[in-house]
Amino acid sequence: MNPQLVRLLAVAQQPSRRIIGLMSGTSLDGLDVALCRCTGHGPTLQVALEQFATVPYDADFQQRLRAISQPTVPLEDLVLLNAEVARRHAATVLACLQSWQLTPAAIDVLASHGQTIWHAPRHQHGRAGFPHHATLQIGDGDHLAQLTGILTLSDFRQKHVAAGHEGAPLAPFGDELLFRKPGVNRLLLNLGGIANFTLLPADGGPAQATDTGPANTLLDYVVRQHYPGQVYDAGGQLAASGQPHAGLLAALLSHRFFAADFPKTTGPELFSPAYLQENQRLTGTQNLPAPDLLATLIELTASAVAQAAHHYLGPAPAAEVLVSGGGAHNATLLAALARYLPATCLLSSAAAGVPPDAKEALLFAVLANETLAGHPALSLGKISLPG
Same domain, 312 and 379: no
CATH number for the domain harbouring residue 203:
3.30.420.40
Same domain, 11 and 23: yes
**CB distance 57 to 113 below 8 Å:** no
Same domain, 118 and 250: no
In this predicted model, what pLDDT tens digit does every residue of 146-155 receive, in sequence order? 999 999 999 9
In this predicted model, what pLDDT tens digit does every residue of 345-378 receive, in sequence order? 999 999 999 999 999 999 999 999 999 998 776 6
Q: How far is it, in rounded angstroms, from Cα 244 to Cα 239?
A: 9
Cα dihedral across residues 286, 291, 294, 295: positive or negative:
negative
Range of the domain at 270: 171-352
Using only C-alpha atoms, what is the Rg of the chain?
A: 20
**CB distance 144 to 53 below 8 Å:** no
Instruction: State residue 295's pLDDT score.
Output: 98
Instruction: State residue 362's pLDDT score.
Output: 97
Q: Model pTM?
A: 0.92
What is the signed CA dihedral for 359, 261, 206, 338, rounded to 10 degrees?
Answer: 50
Same domain, 204 and 296: yes
Q: Which residues of the chain have pLDDT under 50?
A: none
How many other CB atoms are found less than 10 A from the CB of residue 193?
25
Written as one letter, the residue type at 266 is T
Instruction: State residue 165's pLDDT score.
Output: 79
Q: Residue 382 is inside which H or E element, if any? A: strand 382-384
Number of domains making up the chain: 2
Written as one letter, the residue type at 290 is A
Instruction: State residue 92's pLDDT score.
Output: 98
